[in-house]
Amino acid sequence: MPSNMTDHRFQFLLEQFKLHSRRLGDLQSERSKITTWSTLAIFGYFGWVLTNATEYPIFVLSLPVLFVSLGFAYVFGLQKIIDRHSAFLDHLENELFRTGPNTEWKKFKTKDHRGRPLRLLFFTYWLALWVGTIALSGLLSQATPVTTESISPPSDSPN
């Protein structure tokens, strides 16, 4: 291969590596944002339900479970895309530097964790959030609403 073609190929692979590295960072940021905003929305929703003295149908109380299920599905899908981009970065690194099976990414993944701690943390968190919303929804569906009349101070006027 002429040197000029090799340089173009190297530049192309390098640009691909940069592009996919940025995309991987964006996906990881999106995964964190969806986790944060979903949690805030669910806590806000339950806060609103707990501060209103109204009886709600079970469907309304089970909406957070649906939100958590959809959020988990989205984060799981993002994780699959992140894994695919990671594998492609590994391939690009091998193509760029001809390191064979001993790329830095492979070395990192074989150090007894393969990215498992963060993945396990996310999945454990979503599972705990899902179980918590099911439990709280179940408790709220069994609870009787508190009215403000039952906790108001007695009036001093004679009747």
- Sequential DSSP letters for 85-98: HHHHHHHHHHHHH-
In a domain, 89, yes or no: yes
pTM above 0.75, yes or no: no
More confident residue, 104 or 61: 61
In a domain, 4, yes or no: no
Give the mean pLDDT of 6-18: 82
Predicted pLDDT of residue 6:
75
More confident residue, 112 or 90: 90
In a domain, 154, yes or no: no
Nearest to 92 by CA among 148, 29, 36, 18: 18
Predicted pLDDT of residue 141:
77
In a domain, 150, yes or no: no
Q: Answer yes or no: is pLDDT of 148 > 50.
A: no
CA distances from 145 to 54, 60, 132, 141 (A): 6, 14, 20, 10
E strands, 12-136, are none
In a domain, 72, yes or no: yes
Q: Answer yes or no: is pLDDT of 105 > 60.
A: no
Please give the residue range of the domain that contains residue 46: 9-143
In a domain, 122, yes or no: yes
In a domain, 159, yes or no: no
Predicted pLDDT of residue 33:
92
In a domain, 76, yes or no: yes
Residues 6+ apart with CB under 8 A from 56: 49, 140, 141
Domains: count for the chain: 1
